[in-house]
Amino acid sequence: MTTQGVQTGVIGVTGYAGAELARLLIRHPRLHGKPPVFAGRVDEKDAARGGTPLTEIHPQLAASNGNSHLKQEPFSWELLADRGVKVLFMATPHEQSREWAPEALKRGIRVIDLSGAWRLLDPANRAVYAFKDEGSDLAAQTQAQAVYGMPELYRAQIAGAKLIANPGCYSTSVILPLRPLVAAGLIDVESGIVADSKSGVSGAGKSPTAKTHFMYAADNLSAYGVFAHRHTGELLEQIGLKTGEIVFTPHLLPIPRGILSTIYVRFREPQTHGSIARVYGEFFANSPMVRIYEKGLPQIQYSVRTNYADIGFQLDASGRRAVIVSCLDNLLKGAAGQAVQNLNVMMGWPESEGLE
C-alpha cells in the first residue's frame, strides 16, 4: 500500500470529464500538496506565460486553497518526466490514447485512460472504432496489458495494472446490474435482455454538434446509435453475452448530466425479491460505490454529482420477469469518479476515498 501521495498528470482537462477529474484530484486527501500536472494543447499567447490558468478554463475550480497557480502547460513527455509524474490520466480522444498510452508505458508511467481506446478485447467489437493501428504488434502488446477499470469486477487486477481502460458511462450503468444475475445463472439470456438507457447531454462531450445544441436537445427525447452504439461491445464482453442476447438503445435526455438505464429481463426460474436482493448483496458486499435499493427505484436526482451507482428492481407477480433500474452520474461514476476510484485501488487506498 502506498500511504503517501503520488504525482499524477492529466491530459485533456478542458472537457467536462476533465473538469471533474481536476476537481477530484485537487481535493483528494492523499494528494494534498501534490496537485496534478495538467498538460495539453496551449496557444502561443498562453505558452508565453507558462500555460493557460486552470481557473480560466474552468472558473468553478477557483478556490481559496491556492488553485489559482495551476495551469494547463504545453504537453511534452519531458514535462511529465521533470515533474515526476507516475500515474497519467488521459481524458483524450480514442486515437490520441492509442498513440500516447504505449509511449507512457514505455516511459514507466502508469495510465488510466478514460477513452475507449483499450476497453475491448475482441477485434470484432473494436471494429466500431476503426482504429488506424488495429492489427499492429504495438497495439496488441498494449491491449494485452490493459485491465478493464471496473473495481467492482476487477479489483485485484487493477491493483497491479500498468494500463487501466476506464469503462464507458452507459456500459457501467448496464454491466453493474446485469453481471451478478448473469454470473449466477438466473437470467434466461436466450429470451433476450433489453437495456433502455437515457443520458444527459454532457455524455456527448463538450464539442457542440447539431444534436447537442440547446434548440435540438431542449424539450426533446431522442434515440440514437440503434444496434450500432460503440458501448455494445463492452456489454457483451463484460456481462458474458453473445450478440443477439441483448438489445441496447441509448437516448439523449434534455438534462445536463446523469444516466438512467431501465433493463428488462426474464429469469430461468421464478425468483423472489429476497433472492435477487441476496445475489446483489453478496456480489457487491465490498463495493462502497454501489447502492442497492431494497425498496423503491433509483432516480437520476439521487445519484447525480455523486460517484454512486444506484440499482433497484421490481419483479412481476410470477417472479419470472423483472425490471431493473440503474442510475449514475455519467461524468463521475461513468468517467472521472470511476477513474479516481481506480487510482485508489491501484495505490492501495480506501476505494471510496475522495469520492464520498
H or E segment to which residue 283 belongs:
helix 273-283
CA distances from 190 to 77, 194, 197, 299, 346 (A): 50, 12, 21, 29, 37
Grid cell at residue 112? 488510466
Query: What domains are defined for the chain?
Result: 8-166+335-347 (3.40.50.720), 169-328 (3.30.360.10)
Q: Which residues contact 241 (CB under 8 A, 6 or more apart)?
A: 182, 189, 193, 235
Q: How far apart are CA 209 and CA 164, in angstroms?
A: 29
pTM of the model: 0.95
Looking at the annotation, which residues are catalytic?
169
Whole-number pLDDT of residue 66? 60
pLDDT by residue (tens digit) across 49-77?
899 999 999 999 887 556 778 999 999 99
pLDDT tens for each residue of the chain, 356 residues long: 555 789 999 999 999 999 999 999 999 999 988 999 999 999 988 888 899 999 999 999 887 556 778 999 999 999 999 999 999 999 999 999 999 999 999 999 999 999 999 999 999 999 999 999 999 999 999 999 999 999 999 999 999 999 999 999 999 999 999 999 999 999 999 999 999 999 999 988 888 888 888 888 899 999 999 998 999 999 999 999 999 999 999 999 999 999 999 999 999 999 999 999 999 999 999 999 999 999 999 999 999 999 999 999 999 999 999 999 999 999 999 999 999 999 999 999 999 999 99
pLDDT by residue (tens digit) across 203-261?
888 888 888 888 888 999 999 999 989 999 999 999 999 999 999 999 999 999 999 99
Instruction: Of 3, 13, 12, give the one whose Cα is nearest residue 67.
Output: 13
Q: Are strands 146-148 and 163-165 parallel, antiparallel or unpaired?
A: parallel
